[in-house]
Amino acid sequence: MNARVRHFLAAALLLSSLCAAAQESKHTDAERLPALFKVITVVPERQEILGRSYSINRIGDGEGEWLPASVTYVGKNAKDHGTSMAITDLRLCKRPTERQICRDFVKAIDEPPAKLGTDITATRIEGAGYATVFLTRIAPASFEGTDASIAFLGSDSQDPPHGQLVLYLYARKGTTLIQLTMPVAECVFLQAPNESDEDYYRHHCLTKAIREKATANAANLTELFRIKR
């Protein structure tokens, strides 16, 4: 394992611990925040197997201070580690940065998919401290109960092109915006001299096995966070 890869893995572990601490400081008990989140009426059906937290971001909070307020559900089982459902609403996207994020989120659903290697960090409604690069669209992309959605494979990283491959699903239902995530695989390899980031993604991160795993996980992800009708 070369020095760059070791650096990436160490940074990833540090990022994980820092993000967890930051989220703990900003997440507030549901009982104390009923009014603000009353506009969010979309909830997952299987809440008994999910944990729930609320997040309000303010200027001065540091990483993630630009993100809109959101409700987050996570799988309680060990096998669901890193799997989440973040929900916000256009009516909660009030600050200029929040409005831009929410507009870009909707565009990511309604417009043609981004090109391989495109930085789409600014479209996320949750998650901070790392960049997300678009790799490829994953089919099927439907999320029952929503108006429109797109599923895609992204690479989350502090040291592109090395990264954690994550299955993303963006969806909208009325004014409600929904972001689902599920880890798929690590993509950490030695980048060849003169190899572009796009070629790195194409050769190492988009193998047949990874595509098949992401496609299979899409059904599991939408089932875990199935919307209550």
* CB-based contact 18:40 (threshold 8 Å): no
The total domain count for the chain is: 1
In whole angstroms, give the CA distance from residue 215 to residue 40: 29
The reply to whether 193 falls in a domain is: yes
In whole angstroms, give the CA distance from residue 1 to residue 117: 24
Query: Which residue range is the domain that position 126 belongs to?
Result: 3-224
Report the pLDDT value the prediction gives residue 64, as an integer from 0 to 100.
82
Q: Walk along the chain (229 residues) and give the pLDDT tens digit of each residue.
A: 554 544 444 444 334 433 443 444 344 444 445 588 999 999 999 999 999 999 988 877 777 889 999 999 998 886 777 899 999 999 999 999 999 999 999 999 999 999 999 999 999 999 999 999 999 999 866 899 999 999 999 999 999 999 999 999 999 999 999 999 999 999 999 999 999 999 999 999 999 999 999 999 999 999 999 999 8
The reply to whether 17 falls in a domain is: yes
Beta sheet of 131-138, edge-to-edge order: 27-28, 50-55, 70-75, 84-89, 176-187, 162-173, 148-159, 131-138
The reply to whether 229 falls in a domain is: no
> Hey, what's the torsion of the CAs at 97, 101, 103, 105, to 10 degrees?
180
Kindly report the pTM of this predicted structure: 0.84
The reply to whether 70 falls in a domain is: yes
The reply to whether 158 falls in a domain is: yes
